[in-house]
């Protein structure tokens, strides 16, 4: 069914270090406060644990407790829920973006660019494929944190409407987060959503959020620089189409193939 308006809610959270149950309970408190017309809920990167390099402490399977919990809440809210968590599969760990729809189906994307300065590539298997998620006639391109620094991988050759970045992006580099998230919207003529955590993690890294939504021209639609909470806004497919028709920049994009 064609849906012009997509109502989205971003949950900017102070994650509890490597405590999956406590983080699920925190999410539930915010789920109960969501707008009644919410279509999509976006959680941060590794929303059950924080950005840990000890995956063995928190890893789950795709049949595990968190996925079942997401399915229950997606059905109850009649909204899709997405974010990343630590998944173990075939003996390997993944920083996996999951997108759970109200009907219980699950789309996934494995983080392509592991943050090797923190040793992520030594602990987690890097993804190899781009993913496009179809939801309510919207084409959504999922990305995770460090992926934001690699515009070629995100170049809109797939005709997506919305790119979503979920992150644990520290305060010391938040200016880059702000700039790059806005740039991804402008260069790809798409909506760009970024959800970052707040608080301090188990490595004493500080996070200040700056979760935001930008439209296809890079205008800030909503942004939170304060602390934990919900940010809600509406995306318009009609507005996106009219913008692209008026300014058809994507027609002149370079053609290439990723290896």
Specify if 174 maps to a domain. yes
Specify if 257 maps to a domain. no
Q: What's the Cα-to-Cα distance from 179 to each of 123, 143, 175, 194, 232, rounded to whole Å?
A: 29, 16, 6, 11, 21
Confidence band for 215, pLDDT divided at 50, 70 and 90: very high
Specify if 87 maps to a domain. yes
Specify if 51 maps to a domain. yes
Specify if 195 maps to a domain. yes
122 is catalytic: no
* Cα angle, residue 30 at apex, residues 22 and 27 outer, rounded to 5°: 30
As a whole number of angstroms, the distance between CA 99 and CA 42 comes to 9
As a whole number of angstroms, the distance between CA 27 and CA 131 comes to 25
Q: Based on C-alpha coordinates, what's the Rg of the chain?
A: 17
The alpha helices in 34-165, defined as continuous H runs, are 65-77, 120-123, 151-154
pLDDT for the residue 2? 65
Question: 107: domain CATH number?
Answer: 3.60.110.10
The answer, yes or no, to whether residue 1 has pLDDT greater than 60, is: no
Catalytic residue among 111, 120, 125, 223: 111
Average pLDDT, integer, range 119-132: 97
As a whole number of angstroms, the distance between CA 225 and CA 130 comes to 30
Specify if 241 maps to a domain. yes
Note whether 130 and 258 are within 8 A (CB): yes
38 is catalytic: no
Specify if 258 maps to a domain. no
Number of domains composing the chain: 1
The alpha helices in the chain, defined as continuous H runs, are 20-31, 65-77, 120-123, 151-154, 174-188, 237-246
Nearest residue to 193 (alpha-carbon basis) of 36, 76, 42: 42
Catalytic residue among 27, 38, 45, 223: 45
pLDDT for the residue 255? 87
Query: Look-up: residue for tokens 């970045």?
Result: 165
| Residue span of the structural domain in which 231 resides | 5-252
3-state secondary structure of 239: helix
23-58 per-position pLDDT tens digit = 999 999 999 999 999 999 999 999 999 999 999 999
3-state secondary structure of 108: strand
Specify if 259 maps to a domain. no
pLDDT for the residue 257? 87
Sheet holding 80-89, edge to edge: 106-110, 92-100, 80-89, 40-42, 5-12, 229-236
Is pTM beyond 0.95? Reply is: yes
As a whole number of angstroms, the distance between CA 77 and CA 81 comes to 9
The answer, yes or no, to whether residue 225 has pLDDT greater than 90, is: no
3-state secondary structure of 220: strand
Note whether 87 and 93 are within 8 A (CB): yes
Average pLDDT, integer, range 168-176: 98
53-72 per-position pLDDT tens digit = 999 999 999 999 999 999 99
45 is catalytic: yes
pLDDT for the residue 62? 98
């Amino acid at each position: 069914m064609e849906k012009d308006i997509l109502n989205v809610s971003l949950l900017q959270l102070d994650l509890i270090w490597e405590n999956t149950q406590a983080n699920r309970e925190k999410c539930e408190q915010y789920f109960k406060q969501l707008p009644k017309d919410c279509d999509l809920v976006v959680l941060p990167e590794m929303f059950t644990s924080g950005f840990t390099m000890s995956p063995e402490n928190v890893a789950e399977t795709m049949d595990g407790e968190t996925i079942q919990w997401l399915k229950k809440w997606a059905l109850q809210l009649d909204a899709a829920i997405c974010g990343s968590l630590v998944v173990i599969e075939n003996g390997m760990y993944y920083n996996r973006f999951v997108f759970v729809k109200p009907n219980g189906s699950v789309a996934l994307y494995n983080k392509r660019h592991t943050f090797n300065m923190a040793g992520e590539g030594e602990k987690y298997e890097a993804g190899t494929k781009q993913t496009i998620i179809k939801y309510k006639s919207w084409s959504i391109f999922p990305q995770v944190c460090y992926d934001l620094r690699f515009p070629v991988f995100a170049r809109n050759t797939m005709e997506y409407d919305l790119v979503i970045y979920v992150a644990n992006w520290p305060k010391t580099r938040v200016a880059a987060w702000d700039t790059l998230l806005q740039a991804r919207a402008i260069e790809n003529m798409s909506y760009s959503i970024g959800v970052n955590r707040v608080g301090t993690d188990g490595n004493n890294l500080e996070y200040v959020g700056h979760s935001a939504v930008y439209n296809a021209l890079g205008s800030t639609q909503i942004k939170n620089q304060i602390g934990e909470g919900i940010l809600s806004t509406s995306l318009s497919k009609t507005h996106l189409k009219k913008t692209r028709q008026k300014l058809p920049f994507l027609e002149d994009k370079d053609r290439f193939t990723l290896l």
